[in-house]
Amino acid sequence: MHFVSFTMASLSEEVLLVVKKVRQKKQDGTLYLMAERIAWGPEGKDRFTVSHSYSDIRCQKISPDGKAKVQLQLVLHTGESTTFHFANESTSRKDWEAAKELLQQLLPKFKKKANKELEEKNKMLQEDPVLFQLYKDLVVSQVISAEEFWANRLGGINNGESAACENKQEVGISGAFLADIRPQTDGCNGLRYNLTADIIESIFRTYPAVKQKYKENVPHNLTEKEFWTRFFQSHYFHRDRISTGTQDIFSECARQDEKGLKSLVTQGVKNPMVDLLSLEDKTLDEGYGISSALPSTSHASRTVKESSNFAIIKRFNHHSAMVLAAGSRKRDVPADQASETSSTDGNSRDSDFFQPPLKKVKLQEAIEYEDLQQENRPKTVALNLKKSDRYAHGPVPLQSQQYTTSQDIINSVNYIKHEMSNYKPNLTQVLSSAAASSAIAALSPGGVLMQQVAQQAINQMVPTEIQAELKHLYVAAGELLRHFWTCFPVNTAFLEEKVTKMKSNLERFQITKLRPFQEKIQRQYLSTNLTGHLECMLQAAYSKFHIWQTRRMMRKT
Amino acid sequence: MASEGEISLLVVVVDVNPIWWGQHAQSEPEFTLSKCLDAVMVMGNAHMAMTRTNQLAVIAAHCQDSHFLYPSKRLKGNDDTSSSRDGKYELLSVTNNLIAEEIRDIMSKTELTGNSTDTLLAGSLAKALCCILLKTVVFLLAQEIKSRILVIKAADDCALQYMNFMNVIFAAQKQNILIDACVLDSDSGLLQQACDITGGLYLKIPQKVALAQYLLWVFLPDSEQRSLLVLPPPAHVDYRAACFCHRTLIEIGYVCSVCLSIFCNFSPICTTCETAFKIQLPQMVKPKKKKPKLPA
């Protein structure tokens, strides 16, 4: 919440609405809705105590209709909320409605400018707890600033904003939108149609002719309500649409629809593999297919029921075609005639271009598989190894062999042969107790073989909180050191600045984070040197900086 | 303890290199191959006696070939004339007798070819893996089977078996088979690597006469039980690479980017793949690639 004080006289903004007697926090005052922000000033004062620009407001909440207290609440992006109570006895309702309507119109305009970056950052922090911890360690404790922290991480965000908007999926039109209108009986021979803004939009997108009529007639000739009443009354809407020459404004629409339908039929289907004409609604009439069927395409031979069915089917087909066409048109289409002559539209005026080899392309697609073709890999050079037996030796160094003479070998073998020829297992005399006890002594803790055991329990000696804190310190230090070391080699002035800044950041980190941690472990009498390595890394960074600095001085002199 | 129905298979690979044993038997008469085999038998008996479902296999690694001491082909058709008279568990006495017979047989058939004096350890390990695989397949439908290999090593490492050895080690690692090593004489880098990679225990014992004690104390428990015991800590393994030109172990060296061969000195042409490398700066000969580079 910004406490901004402007004097009323220096208002250069356009004031859209002023509402008197609006209470905020139990104080009487006046609410001002301006072009870019909403502000409230207490009664009798010159300043605004509350001022929010529309881009900060996330949404507005209104008290329900029945409540005595008429309230309006603004919820900001930061989560704070401000409540305004319209306390004017006579006009409170009206004021409140007016304010609400205005806000409803203005907020969406400013909503898009809302800080997408901030949302993205919050999302990243929430998803990655390590990052969040790093952020807390470094930025919240002011070791480095937030911009540096986000500098490397938000690479694509600034560029991607426009792309993200483009990649949003468009909402299509429900095919049943007309059915959603759902007329209800009013109780006294009337019908009540529920039209929402969505349905109206769907109607306009699907039937551009209706949109055209709307533009022509509203608000000059008819009010919106009258327009829609006429719409629903006209035969255009109803299913038994018989286009008689009535004085209906929608009869022209009906004629256009007919034309559109005819052009659709003549266009046919683009896919050369599909042959719609071979499909026919044939029924095995009398004669079971043997007797030749009479072609029943003329209007005259149809019964009344047949013709009305025909009309409905025609209407359904046309409706579906229109819905599909509207869905495939781009969303933000400029409202001019030219864009409405797209070729897939049922109301098209000219046919689209024709691709001669379409059939050939489709056939080829069906026959060939990409991964079965010849691979065109780039030419490679073959590896030519001369002494490949070197790999087989591996890291076993040439040890000095103990040379044995062949006589030795012969002797040894004979001896062992002799020994083993009379071998009988003597399992009761395997081990003497002296040997056993000395072996046990060697294997017990502190014995010859067990020297390293005592040193291994370091992770059991240090409590887990200290371990966790040490991990955080390492992550934070690693991040800072990474920033530091990527500055080298220092080529540009920006890097020079950055490297100096990073060095001071490292020092600050050492003082604010590392030293207290060391003191803490000392207080707990832990003798192990947990931070030795961290210190070592920081020292290496400092010495590198020092070397670089002296070299720079030498170059300058 | 192993859970109900879980089978634990122990494969012992004993190095019976006759040349090494012959030489050492002459210098140390109190610890001979017989004693070593006795100790192995004690451990094998202990393993089988612990749970009824425990399985044992013993392989002798000779310098000519490797043999299965147990289970051997003599199992069938041997009318047991030498049944033990001391009321021992039948299985144990059969096992011991078989092992003794087999080793007598093997040693008597030792021939001097003079070619190799090295133990064929890699081959024995491969046979051990096959045996484990066979048993695993046999028992697969019934129960879980856990296996480990214990290598009792006497003679020195053979550098020629390096590739095979590494293949065996990685195969064991993939199959979750532990390789333990009990080394009698000199440290073996290959076995150290094997134990480190597969998660087994490596121990060079100070007193050979107490071999049985070491075997029972350190190598008898299986991997689950080992986590509950205080055992000798794992040894530090030397993973340094050896350079291709001198076979010295180096920490920082030069690697050819084409054939990945390691050298201790810079040379403008790699001798393995004959790729020429341009020297970038005349005064400073820069290495192609360094191992841990210290910031400075």
**pLDDT tens digits, B159-194:** 788 889 999 999 999 999 999 999 998 888 889 999
pTM over 0.90: no
- Taking an 8 Å cut-off on Cβ atoms, the answer to whether B213 and A439 are in contact is yes
**Residue A545 confidence (pLDDT) above 50:** yes
Alpha-carbon distance B149 to B168, whole Å?
Answer: 12
Alpha-carbon distance B22 to B154, whole Å?
Answer: 11
- Taking an 8 Å cut-off on Cβ atoms, the answer to whether B213 and A387 are in contact is no
Alpha-carbon distance B220 to B4, whole Å?
Answer: 19
- Taking an 8 Å cut-off on Cβ atoms, the answer to whether B38 and A449 are in contact is no
Which residues 449-478 of chain A have a CB within 8 Å of chain B? 449-450, 452-453, 456
Which residues 525-554 of chain A have a CB within 8 Å of chain B? 540, 543-544
Tens of pLDDT along B263-276? 888 888 888 888 88
Q: How confident is the model at residue B9 (pLDDT cuts 50, 70, 90)?
A: very high
Residue A491 confidence (pLDDT): 82
Rg (C-alpha) for chain B, rounded Å, is 23
- Taking an 8 Å cut-off on Cβ atoms, the answer to whether B271 and A387 are in contact is yes
**Residue A2 confidence (pLDDT) above 50:** no
- Other Cβ atoms less than 10 A from the Cβ of B63: the count is 24
**Residue A3 confidence (pLDDT) above 60:** no
Q: How far is B136 from chain A (nearest CA, A)?
A: 30
Q: Transcribe A276-301 into DSSP letters.
A: GGG-------TTTTSSPPPP--SSTT
Residue B267 confidence (pLDDT): 85
Q: How confident is the model at residue A5 (pLDDT cuts 50, 70, 90)?
A: very low
- Please list, in sequence order, all residues whose beta carbon lies within 8 angstroms of the beta carbon of residue B206, skipping any fewer than 6 positions away: A442, A448, A449
User: H or E segment at A85?
Assistant: strand A81-86
**Residue A155 confidence (pLDDT) above 70:** no
The answer to whether A441 contacts chain B (CB < 8 Å) is no
**Residue A495 confidence (pLDDT) above 90:** no
Does the N-terminal peptide bond of residue A219 adopt cis geometry, omega within 30 degrees of 0? Answer: yes
For residue A256, give the nearest of A318, A325, A333, A328 by alpha carbon: A318
Which among A410, A436, A544 has CB closest to B295?
A: A544
**Quick check: B199 and B178 in contact, CB under 8 A?**
yes
Q: How far is A411 from chain B (nearest CA, A)?
A: 8
Q: For chain B, give the mean pLDDT.
A: 84
Q: How confident is the model at residue A343 (pLDDT cuts 50, 70, 90)?
A: very low
Alpha-carbon distance B252 to B59, whole Å?
Answer: 40
Sheet of A50-53, strands arranged across: A50-53, A37-42, A27-34, A15-24, A81-86, A71-76, A57-62
A386 contacts in chain B (CB < 8 Å): 271-274
Residue in chain B closest to A537 (alpha carbons) equals B295
A414 contacts in chain B (CB < 8 Å): 22
Q: How far is B155 from chain A (nearest CA, A)?
A: 11
Selection from A532-541, B259-268, B276-285 with the highest mean pLDDT: A532-541
Q: How confident is the model at residue A397 (pLDDT cuts 50, 70, 90)?
A: low
